[in-house]
């Protein structure tokens, strides 16, 4: 029997995306967003939703570019900090003890210490209410070489990304055990 | 040192959303989508991206409604099946041995066996390319009572949702250990 819990933003899992952007004066900023995800395969696109009050909002509109940086579990403290402090008055990246390099493809910073980054060119801006959804075309994905698996791509068990549970726990969780392979596990149900 | 991997839809984690919809003749359908996520807090909204060839695409446009059902780990086989078979000619829900009830709020089916569901009214339809993004207003979240924690809301450790890794593993993964509490872990970096 299902119980009604009301209209709320509760879904499992949500990602822990650290959105990188430059302010108009060229200062790198980082903001953590759980509202986002891949939204199109061709062109490859990722969506992130940002409130207007955020420095990141102004930065993306100005630069027409952003990065999505994926922190490893060990950077949970830094990722959380990027979500609770505004970049308007604080150099958050410096305060967190992290460093950035400039993307060669778009005008946005890459967090050097994080294992995976998507470099995005702003394609669409959708006003949804409290949040504005920015859809970025993924021009490249870059990963630390130590995070690559046998197939040549990144290995989630090496990257050790976080996920966020927007429930009473307000918890960041690690990725758990491999359960099954997609496009395979369900084949036995095909008649 | 980061290695370039090319323009691709690679991010961690992605969700395993089973989108429920009715065909024009009232037949329930279920389709698994990893491209989606929460996209706005007020109104509370969730986005799912669907290809035009899917029965779910036609269903959502017709009914202006859908559900997002979250399967538990134990339903990985059924969730995968819903992603690899088209609902155009097959009654997938029946073939998977699952059942549905009709939402009282929107014209869309709820998968009875899954622990969590979002009932959504279609708000926006954004054409992005290969995928169309449907943004639904979350009118209610319903959870199995056995999945609720001390705070009254669902507990991710009871729900045991899946996540998907769109990398060489093509793996469904379980949720792992609790790492830290959000809006708290990063406070020590605040000066």
Q: Using 50, 70 and 90 to split pLDDT, how confident is the model at B9? A: very high
| Backbone phi, psi, residue B156, to 5° | -60, -30
Specify if A4 maps to a domain.
no
CB contact under 8 A, A11 and B37: yes
B111-169, pLDDT tens digit by residue? 999 999 999 999 999 999 999 999 999 999 999 999 999 999 999 999 999 999 999 99
Q: Using 50, 70 and 90 to split pLDDT, how confident is the model at B89? A: confident
Q: Using 50, 70 and 90 to split pLDDT, how confident is the model at B85? A: very high
User: What pLDDT was estimated at residue A3?
Assistant: 97
Least Cα distance to B11 among A65, A105, A67, A74 occurs for A67
- Report yes or no: B10 and A41 within 8 Å, Cβ to Cβ: no
Task: Tell me how far apart the alpha carbons of residues A191 and A189 are, in angstroms, rounded to a whole number.
Answer: 6
Nearest to A41 among B5, B130, B144 (CB): B130
- 3 state SS of A189: helix
B87 has pLDDT over 90:
no
Lowest mean pLDDT among A57-66, A86-95, A100-109: A86-95
B46-66, pLDDT tens digit by residue? 999 999 999 999 999 999 999
| Average model confidence (pLDDT) across chain A | 97
In Å, what is the CA distance from A168 to each residue of A79, A81, A171, B136, B140? 19, 19, 8, 23, 17
Domain membership of residue A35 as a residue range: 14-189
CB contact under 8 A, A142 and B182: no
CB contact under 8 A, B176 and A179: no
CB contact under 8 A, A49 and B43: no
Q: Could you tell me how many CB contacts below 8 A there are between chain A and chain B? A: 405
Residues of B within 8 A of A113 (CB-CB) are none
Cβ neighbours for A144, distance < 8 A, ≥ 6 positions apart: A115, A116, B1, B2, B3
| Backbone phi, psi, residue A179, to 5° | -105, -45
ipTM of the shown complex: 0.97
| CATH number of the domain residue A166 falls in | 2.30.110.10
Specify if B84 maps to a domain.
yes
CB contact under 8 A, A5 and B154: yes
In which element (H, E) is residue A76 found?
helix A76-84
Specify if B8 maps to a domain.
no
B188 has pLDDT over 80:
yes
Residues of A within 8 A of B138 (CB-CB) are 7-9
| Number of separate domains in chain B | 1
A11-56, pLDDT tens digit by residue? 999 999 999 999 999 999 999 999 999 999 999 999 999 999 999 9
User: What pLDDT was estimated at residue A117?
Assistant: 98
Q: Using 50, 70 and 90 to split pLDDT, how confident is the model at B36? A: very high
Q: Using 50, 70 and 90 to split pLDDT, how confident is the model at A89? A: confident
pTM of full prediction above 0.90: yes
Specify if B173 maps to a domain.
yes
User: What pLDDT was estimated at residue A87?
Assistant: 84
Least Cα distance to A161 among B13, B160, B170, B38 occurs for B13
A100-137, pLDDT tens digit by residue? 999 999 999 999 999 999 999 999 999 999 999 999 99
Specify if A138 maps to a domain.
yes
Dihedral over Cα of B12, B186, A47, A129: its sign: positive
Closest chain A CA to residue B40: A131
User: What pLDDT was estimated at residue B97?
Assistant: 96
User: What pLDDT was estimated at residue A90?
Assistant: 86
- Report yes or no: A38 and A91 within 8 Å, Cβ to Cβ: no
CB contact under 8 A, B2 and A145: yes
- 3 state SS of A80: helix
A191 has pLDDT over 80:
no
Per-residue H/E/C for chain B: CEEECCCCCCCCCEECEEEEEECCCCCEEEEEECCEEEEECCCCEEEEEEECCCHHHHHHHHHCEEEEEECEHHHHHHHHHHHHCCCCCCCHHHHCCCCEEECCCCCCEEECCCCEEEEEEEEEEEECCCEEEEEEEEEEEEEEHHHECCCCCECHHHHCEEEEECCCCCEEEEEEEEEEECCCCCHHHCC
Q: Which of residues B122 and B188 earns the better pLDDT score? A: B122
């Amino acid at each position: 029997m299902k119980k009604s819990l009301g209209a709320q933003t509760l879904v499992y899992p949500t990602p822990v995306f650290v959105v990188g952007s430059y302010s108009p004066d060229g200062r790198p900023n980082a903001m953590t967003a759980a509202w986002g995800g891949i939204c199109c395969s061709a062109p490859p696109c990722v969506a992130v939703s940002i409130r207007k009050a955020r420095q990141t909002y102004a930065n993306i509109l100005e630069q027409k570019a952003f990065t999505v940086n994926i922190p490893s579990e060990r950077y949970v403290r830094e990722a959380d900090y990027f979500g609770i402090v505004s970049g308007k008055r604080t150099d958050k990246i410096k305060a967190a003890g992290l460093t950035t390099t400039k993307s060669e493809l778009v005008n946005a910073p890459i967090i050097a210490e994080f294992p995976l980054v998507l470099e995005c060119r702003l394609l669409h801006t959708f006003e949804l209410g409290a949040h504005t959804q920015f859809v970025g075309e993924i021009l490249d994905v870059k990963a630390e070489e130590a995070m690559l698996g046998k197939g040549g791509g990144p290995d989630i068990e090496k990257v050790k990304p976080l996920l966020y549970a927007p429930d009473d726990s307000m918890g960041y969780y690690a990725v758990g055990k491999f359960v099954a392979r997609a496009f395979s596990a369900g084949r036995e149900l095909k008649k």
